């Protein structure tokens, strides 16, 4: 147990300068930067890039890795700050924003059947494909995220009120990074159809939601993948809202025996083209 810190009582601006340097020593090997005295000007020039990155006190900023506040050790930038003139170069803001990288994604994220102690119910499937640009070049290192209902057609989400069973062994969310050929691959459970109240007897065909992250939050593309041979495809007004038949067809995966794993899972292939005239349809304004 971390002992309770002494109460601060009435805390004035000048008291702030009295916090002992020991409280800001992160053990990082870089000495603490002295907090400026009450009358001194903030002197950013005296704080180097490394100090900014590793969590030594920056005048005027909260202390990073401040031991009495345990969470502060987990939540702060670990890379040197990037100075950007957002008005002069708005794209630079996007490109230097946080992105997910190899350190965040583990193999377990791509196997939705292994995220709990027990096995989820349903038909195990492997869903795999390539993410390509308009010229057919692979989009590598791309964060692909999926979310879906369970085999009974129920999302593990508090707003899903469908009278179908939740599966304690299935959350229905996964992610992976594309490899050198632009390939992604997931092991999951075939989702069930569910009613969605859009009109009388409106049932969504089985589908998996996909997100492609791009290189910044603002580039994220979101769409849905459907399963071949599903009789509900012809009745789904969300799919029908994609009016060009060839664009609709691009949203339907193909059964691929090469991707099926013997005695384990049925394989579906779904390639995605991110832009250009043959682009896979993506949702707008979400």
Q: Which of 217, 236, 216 is nearest to 226 (CA)?
A: 236
Residues in the chain: 286
Chain-centroid distance of CA 135 in Å reads 26
Count of residues engaged in binding ligand DHB, rule: CB under 6 A: 3
**Catalytic status, residue 207:** yes
Of 52 and 204, nearer to ligand DHB (C-beta) is 204
Q: How far is CA 250 from the centre of its chain?
A: 24
CB nearer ligand DHB, residue 169 or residue 204:
204
Question: Catalytic: 209?
Answer: yes
Shortest Å distance, C-beta 27 to ligand DHB: 48
Q: What distance in Å separates the CA atoms of residue 249 and residue 281, rounded to the nearest whole number?
A: 10
Phi-psi region of 214 (alpha: psi -120 to 50; beta: other; left: phi over 0): left
For residue 89, with 0-12 CB atoms within 10 Å meaning exposed, 13-18 middle and 19 or more buried, which class applies? exposed
Site string for ligand DHB, 193-212 (x = CB under 6 A): ---x-------x--------
CB of 209 to ligand DHB, least distance (A): 7
Nearer to ligand DHB, 75 or 199 (CB): 199
Residues 206-265 interacting with ligand DHB (rule: CB under 6 A) = 238
Q: How far is the CB of 228 from ligand DHB (least distance, A)?
A: 19
Q: Report the nearest approach of ligand DHB to the CB of residue 155 (Å).
A: 9
Is position 204 annotated as part of the catalytic site? yes
Minimal distance in Å, beta carbon 145 to ligand DHB?
15
223 or 265: whose CB is closer to ligand DHB? Answer: 223
Does 64 interact with ligand DHB (rule: CB under 6 A)? no
Q: Is residue 255 annotated as part of the catalytic site, yes or no?
A: no
Catalytic residue among 64, 154, 207, 250: 207
- Distance, in Å, from the CA atom of 38 to the CA atom of 14, rounded to the nearest integer, reads 6
Q: Are 233 and 240 in contact (CB under 8 A)?
A: no
Pairing of strands 254-255, 272-273: unpaired
Residue 122 in 3-state DSSP?
coil
Give the separation between CA 101 and CA 143, rounded to whole angstroms: 8
**Closest residue to ligand DHB using C-beta atoms:** 196
For ligand DHB, the closer CB: 100 or 196: 196
- Is 155 an active-site residue? yes
Strand partners, 188: 125
Instruction: Write out the catalytic residue numbers.
Output: 155, 194, 204, 207, 209
Positions in the binding site for ligand DHB (CB under 6 A) = 196, 204, 238
């Amino acid at each position: 147990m971390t002992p309770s810190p002494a109460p601060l009582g009435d805390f004035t601006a000048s008291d702030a300068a009295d916090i002992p340097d020991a409280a800001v020593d992160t053990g990082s090997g870089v000495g603490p930067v002295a907090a400026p005295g009450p009358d001194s000007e903030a002197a950013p020039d005296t704080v180097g890039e490394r100090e900014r990155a590793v969590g030594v006190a920056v005048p005027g900023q909260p202390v990073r890795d401040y031991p009495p506040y345990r969470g502060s050790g987990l939540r702060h930038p670990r890379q040197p700050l990037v100075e950007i003139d957002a008005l002069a170069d708005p794209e630079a803001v996007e490109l230097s924003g946080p992105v997910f990288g190899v350190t965040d994604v583990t193999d377990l994220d791509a196997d939705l059947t292994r995220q709990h102690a027990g096995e989820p119910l349903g038909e195990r499937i492997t869903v795999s494909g390539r993410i390509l640009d308009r010229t057919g070049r692979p989009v590598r290192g791309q964060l692909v995220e999926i979310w879906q209902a369970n085999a009974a057609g129920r999302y593990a989400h508090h707003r899903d009120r469908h009278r179908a069973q939740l599966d304690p062994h299935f959350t229905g969310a996964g992610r992976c990074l594309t490899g050198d050929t632009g390939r992604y691959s997931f092991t999951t459970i075939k989702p069930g159809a569910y009613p969605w109240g859009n009109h009388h007897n409106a049932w969504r065909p089985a589908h998996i939601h996909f997100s492609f992250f791009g290189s910044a939050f603002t580039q994220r593309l979101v769409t849905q993948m459907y399963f071949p041979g599903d009789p509900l495809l012809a009745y789904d007004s969300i799919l029908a809202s994609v009016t060009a038949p060839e664009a609709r067809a691009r949203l339907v995966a193909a059964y691929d025996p090469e991707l099926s794993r013997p005695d384990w899972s049925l394989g579906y292939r779904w390639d995605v083209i991110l832009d250009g005239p043959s682009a896979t349809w993506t949702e707008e304004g979400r």
